[in-house]
Amino acid sequence: MFDAGRNKISLLLVMDMQDGMYDIPPQETTLLESERLARIEQRKAAMESLAADLQPFIDQMRDSGAEIIWVVMDEERNTPYGGLFNLTPAPQDQWVVKSVPSAYAGNEDFFDSYVWRAEAEGKELEINTCGLWALECVNATHTSFHNAGYDSRIVGDMILDSHNPGRKGQRPNRGEKQILDQIAQETSGDSAIKWSGELLEEHRARNPRHTPLELSL
């Protein structure tokens, strides 16, 4: 079980569930209106299922000592589905706003304040990032923190550790991500379906031509 510990300040960044959601995806602009609306409803159903998996994980991390930071898009980029989409913050949680995929860009001073706090308290600072739908934004955030020298990890079912990249798993490549998107949509009624290493391995077992993506962080 995760435990922040006495000698560590652990932050959990939760990506807005709307990241990765588009009202009219570019590849679908030629669809009939009825088909377009049906696909939007499929995505919303998938988001509901994924949020149901993500909320208990967030609550467990908070209970174990992590400080929760919700990362939301600025209003100009907000999609019509509303806020965190079925995710519930606690009063003590923090918030940051982003306008690019990475949560670090534009919020450097906010996160630097945690560095100074950790130094003052003689503790380590660990950045954990999660978001089952917003996988590319999660990865961009992890990469930017890693490049800035933070101890950064992607947490949840698929884990990347900036200090030991590739030790604990791999993320889907772009083609696999599209396939996993479709799997999530088609199975949205089953809350047990998650972004997970097992799901990725199962796909690769059925499609041996896909080779794992080696991490280079």
Is residue 3, in this structure, part of any structural domain at all?
no
In a domain, 181, yes or no: yes
Q: Mean pLDDT in the chain?
A: 70
Distance CA 66, CA 117 (A): 15
Residue 213 belongs to a domain: no
Domain extent for 87: 8-206
What dihedral do alpha carbons 186, 188, 194, 197 form, nearest 10°? Answer: -10
- Asked whether residue 211 is assigned to any structural domain, the reply reads no
Confidence bin at 62 (pLDDT 50/70/90): very high
The total number of structural domains in the chain stands at 1
CATH code of the domain containing 36: 3.40.50
User: Does some domain include residue 1?
Assistant: no
pLDDT value, residue 94? 94
Identify the residue whose tokens are 């101890």.
151
Q: CA 68, CA 66: separation in Å to the nearest integer? A: 6
- CB-facing half-sphere around the CA of 74: CA atoms within 13 A: 9
Q: Are 159 and 169 in contact (CB under 8 A)?
A: yes
The number of helix segments (H) and strand segments (E) in the chain equals 5, 6
Q: Is residue 216 a part of any domain in this protein?
A: no
- CA angle 27-32-37, nearest 5°? 80
User: Is residue 167, in this structure, part of any structural domain at all?
Assistant: yes
Q: Would residue 214 count as lying in a domain?
A: no
Q: What's the whole-number mean pLDDT along residues 59-67?
A: 92
Max CA pair span of the chain: 60
- Residue 102: is its pLDDT beyond 70? yes
Lowest mean pLDDT among 44-53, 58-67, 165-174, 179-188: 165-174
Q: What pLDDT does 147 receive? A: 84
Beta-strand (E) ranges in 40-158? 67-73, 94-98, 124-130, 151-154
Q: pLDDT at position 104, please? A: 92
